[in-house]
Amino acid sequence: MNNKPNAKPARPWFSSGPTAKRPGWSSQAIPHDLLGRGIRAPEVVARFAHGLKLTRELLQVPADWVLVYVPGSDTGAVEAAMWSMLGERPVQVLAFENFGKVWATDAKTHLKLEPEVLSAPWGEFPDVSKVDPKKDLVFPWNGTTSGVKAPGADWLATEREGIVICDATSAAFAMPLPFEKLDVVTFSFQKALGGEAGLGVAALSPRAVERLDHYEPPRPIPKV
């Protein structure tokens, strides 16, 4: 059996999940003037809006897309989209690594849908030639632990009938995202930026907003 290596990284706190704070980070850099204020206070609302403005600029989110905060980190954002939008038409799920399989379980077990699950072994991306633009699609852009990511975006149709829900929490702020090929892009500030957990973001295309406005899912939707 090989001995454990003696050489260790200078910052050993990074893992496949939460990301370490940047070198030199200090809580003193965070303004404390809004601590304890109600979330509906004008100054707090303005600070939240400023965060979304910076996010839009940094990720180059199209101007006609809507950005919203979601509780429950990226998981909450993906499940909010699935619970609110899926069921109008057939759905496919790309199941690879942990969370792709979680979304497949959500669709089948919790939403009582009959998803077409396109799976792949560890370290591989599913066969994208089977993706049908007439169906809704749920998939992670890349795996957190293995690093496997989507093979570009040519396999995603620009002209499509279904909506594309992309779990991009391990991709946002780390690589470009083809928003023109996606409809719901979810992420948190926890992964690439090393932000605090629990706060998710969903970016919604006009097609996603239209689905929300006109589709009433046959299931209870939690208030959050």
pLDDT higher than threshold 90 for residue 178 = yes
For the ranges 6-20, 77-91, 129-143, the lowest mean pLDDT is seen at: 6-20
Identify which has the larger pLDDT, 33 or 9. 33
Mind giving me the DSSP string for 35-91? TT--TTSHHHHHHHHHHHHHHHHHHT--TTSEEEEEESHHHHHHHHHHHHHTTSS-E
What is the spatial distance between Cα 201 and Cα 117, in angstroms, rounded to a whole number?
Answer: 25
Specify the pTM.
0.92
Whether domain 66-214 has CATH 3.40.640.10: the reply is: yes
Where do the domains of the chain lie? 66-214
What is the spatial distance between Cα 219 and Cα 111, in angstroms, rounded to a whole number?
Answer: 8
The pLDDT assigned to 87 comes to 97
The pLDDT assigned to 183 comes to 99
In 60-195, alpha helices (H): 73-85, 97-105
- Give mean pLDDT, residues 68-74: 95
Q: Look-up: residue for tokens 């852009």?
A: 141
User: pLDDT digits over 88-115, tens only?
Assistant: 999 999 999 888 999 999 999 999 999 9
